[in-house]
Amino acid sequence: MVMIKNRHYRALELDKVLQLLSREASCSESQERILSMEPSTGLYEVKLLLQETDDAHMLTGRFGSPSFGGLQNVANSLRRAQAGASLSMGELLKVAEVLRVMRGLIQWRKRSEGLETSIDWRFEALPPNKYLEEKIASSILSEEEMADGASQALGDIRRKINAASLRVREKLDHMIHSPAYQKYLQEPIVTLRGGRFVVPVKAECRGEVPGLVHDTSGSGATVFVEPMAVVEANNDIKVLKSKEEAEIERILYELSQEAGGFADSIIEGYNAAIELDILFAKAKLAYRMKATLPEVNDQGKIYLKKARHPLIDPKAVVATDIELGLQFDTLVITGPNTGGKTVSLKTIGLLTLMAMCGLLLPASDGSMVSVFSQVLADIGDEQSIEQSLSTFSAHMTNMIHILSSVEREGISLVLIDELGAGTDPVEGAALAMAILETLRASQVRIAATTHYAELKAYALQTAGVENGCCEFDVATLRPTYRLLIGVPGRSNAFAISERLGMDQHIVARARELVSAENSRFEDVVRNLEESRQSLEQERKEAQELSAQAQQYRQEAEQRAEKLRRDSEAELEKARVEARNLVARARAQAQALMDELDDLRKKNREIDAQAKARLKAGIREMENTADPVKEKQGEDYRLPRALQAGDSVLIYDLDKKAVVLEPADSSGNVLVQAGIIKTRVPVGNLRLLKQEKVQKPKGRGVRTVKTRASAPVQQEVDLRGMTVEEGIMELDNFIDSALLSGITLLTVIHGKGTGVLRKAVQERLKRHPSVKSYRLGNYGEGEAGVTIVELK
């Protein structure tokens, strides 16, 4: 098993992440390639690797992971076949299995056809070769058995072998069941020895059964004899078996030569399949880690949002934000032991290396990492007993190596745990600052952990250097593992000692021994920490309020949008109803016009004024085909109950009408707009102002319409009325016609059930002013109208 050799990568535990990744791969060669994987230092290559992993991640989420089971390296076998060697049945079956896996990958990709990704070229490198796959699979049944149908000759040979074996068995069965031989046999069975049919004979009776001895039992009590009667038949079977073996060798050679002819394309496809296996292993690991695609740069800028160390239990790990290379190039992390400083340091380095290997990162969307020419780390206790090096000496040896390894070209990432530790604090702090200054002179990004207060002050006073600390809860004596940028850490030694039960006078004496300058610095740090916690709480509350306000705003927008859609739907419904209403009226008017035209054709008299009025009505209806207008709603109440004869406005149609009947029990009013009669809800009507007529004083004066002032009408439409309403309307119509001097009238009562027609004719029969009446002719309305002639 190949492992990464770079000790800096091992210090950051990249090898453990690669082991997790290898478990997601399906074949052994993929696992070996993963374990020997090295981070790439080229920006373009890293972006391409990450994009391929992200596309595999997307495809896995939408279509599931493809199957790589059965993928195995057959390059050596194919190269031998290409050189003319004959492969075994097992080797050829492995070739067919590889072809089957590649065909399955091609079919899996076709499920997402039309969806372009950056890994399509890898699928295109898979050579479909169903011909060779099926030929091998149909010819070879297992590693030891060739199919009868592999060739016609093999089938014929095996049929002959079966027939010859059957004949031998029949002869031997006859012999073992014969009374003459049964007493000489150890058992009445037929068995095989050396590929020849024999019978078990008692050793003492060997001479009683003529034949060839092929074997003896372990005890020597039984000899296996081939009777002379079947020797020739067994010889024939032996010859046929030799021919069978020769034919199988010929078939294997033929199949091997065909496989050798496709060796290059199959090996190329196998390598593409291995790369795909690695890619989808990365995708599966990303799902396990809930990882995302980071932005990548080569300028040393790192910003990790809610980053999680991938090797810590997800239930125990605490997400943290980490920044480096944006506002500062050096981060000094301070705080107590077991506070999470080393975890933060490793998280920076490990996630950087993971991205450079093409792995998605366990961090939130919007995270950013950089590609570095080198990632150098001094983490952990490197003490070597064999070299007689102390902890300090081991760290210094590593630092000397790191200082000499930093390249002048390209940006390096240097991670140092417990910088300057293991020696005198004053000298160690001074040495640590000198090392940081030397490293910063080169193009490096540095993250270091320390306990030294001098380095905290150095970070506060030096541009480009920033303090950081891992949050620690003194009340519970537990670290929260959150990295806080811009805040120096406190050792909390006194507080921790008190919480653990140390005598207070000892802690008090320790505080007295601390220098005043150091105490003031710790007080400043404490005040900063208290202010930070207060601001953090306020920021959290503000975020919650902002999120709540955002939710309310979205809900309000959704309600407003729903009201708008409902309003548009109702408006469209009203438009449709209005169009239907106008269409029906237009059809009725056109029917009347057609009847008038028919009368004209029959040389009947036509009232030109009535015809002009009908045409004008038609034009008006056409001009108002979409009469519904968007209006602001108004809180309108009728000043009084509507009465017959009131002039009203149909509000949604913006059409004037006359009330024919007041509101019924359902709140609908019968109105007439032009030639159209319809029922309208009372809420949709507006009473129009009318000029008041002054009644003269004294006796009432009755106004009688004369022929000159009476309206000219030749027909009345009684459809839709009750019998009583229709008779009343008929009488009024006849009176008006008499005043106008009209003698020929048309009464429209419709066909329907005939009740209204019968009542009209009964009334006409008794009316003193009616000279005669008849049903309408063709073109006049036929049985739907009655033509009346007045005296």
Mean pLDDT for the chain? 81
Provide the pLDDT for residue 530.
61
Residue 342 annotated as part of some ligand binding site: yes
Residue 340 annotated as part of some ligand binding site: yes
Provide the pLDDT for residue 696.
42
Calpha distance 276→478 (Å, rounded): 44
**What token pair was written down for 255?**
């199949």
Residue 336 annotated as part of some ligand binding site: yes
DSSP of 320-351, one letter per residue? Answer: EEEEESSS-SEEEEE--TTSSHHHHHHHHHHH
Residue 380 annotated as part of some ligand binding site: no
CB atoms within 10 A of CB 471: 21
High-pLDDT (> 70) share of the chain, %: 81
Task: Choose the weakest-confidence range: 83-87, 202-206, 435-439, 728-732.
Answer: 202-206
pLDDT digits (tens, 9 = 90+) for 101-154: 999 999 999 887 778 899 999 999 998 899 999 999 999 998 888 998 889 999
- Whether the pLDDT of residue 705 is over 50: the answer is no
**What token pair was written down for 100?**
């089957």
Between 161 and 604, name the one with better pLDDT: 161
The answer to whether 1 and 19 are in contact (CB under 8 A) is no
High-pLDDT (> 90) share of the chain, %: 28
Between 778 and 489, name the one with better pLDDT: 778
The answer to whether 136 and 255 are in contact (CB under 8 A) is yes
- Whether the pLDDT of residue 701 is over 60: the answer is no
Provide the pLDDT for residue 431.
87
| DSSP percent split of the chain into helix, strand, coil, nearest 5 | 50, 15, 35
- Whether the pLDDT of residue 71 is over 80: the answer is yes
- Whether the pLDDT of residue 276 is over 90: the answer is yes
**For residue 230, what pLDDT band results from cuts at 50, 70 and 90?**
confident
Between 555 and 186, name the one with better pLDDT: 555
DSSP of 210-250, one letter per residue? Answer: -EEEEEE-TTSSEEEEEEGGGHHHHHHHHHHHHHHHHHHHH
Calpha distance 787→714 (Å, rounded): 10
- Alpha helices (runs of H) in 602-646, residue ranges in sequence order: 608-623
Provide the pLDDT for residue 700.
41
- Most confident by average pLDDT, 209-223, 355-369, 370-384: 355-369
The answer to whether 278 and 24 are in contact (CB under 8 A) is no
Question: For residue 299, what are the contacts with CB-CB under 8 A and spacing of at least 6?
Answer: 325, 370, 411
Q: How many CA atoms lie within 13 A of 436 on its CB side?
A: 30
Between 627 and 791, name the one with better pLDDT: 791
pLDDT digits (tens, 9 = 90+) for 630-640: 444 456 788 88
**Counting Cβ atoms within 10 Å, is residue 434 exposed (0-12), middle (13-18) or buried (19+)?**
exposed
Provide the pLDDT for residue 761.
87
CB atoms within 10 A of CB 334: 25
C-alpha closest to that of 156 among 31, 271, 37, 240:
240
Q: Measure the CA dihedral 470/474/480/486, to 10°.
A: -30
Residue 602 annotated as part of some ligand binding site: no
How far is the first Cα of the chain from the last one, in angstroms, to the nearest whole number? 124
- Whether the pLDDT of residue 348 is over 70: the answer is yes
3-state DSSP assignment of residue 487: coil
- Whether the pLDDT of residue 7 is over 70: the answer is yes
**What token pair was written down for 495?**
């507080």
Provide the pLDDT for residue 511.
67
Calpha distance 411→438 (Å, rounded): 15
Task: Choose the weakest-confidence range: 224-233, 460-469, 693-702, 732-741.
Answer: 693-702
Pairing outcome for strands 295-297 and 647-650: unpaired
Residue 338 annotated as part of some ligand binding site: yes
Specify the pTM: 0.61
Segment 316-343 mean pLDDT = 82
- Whether the pLDDT of residue 224 is over 90: the answer is no
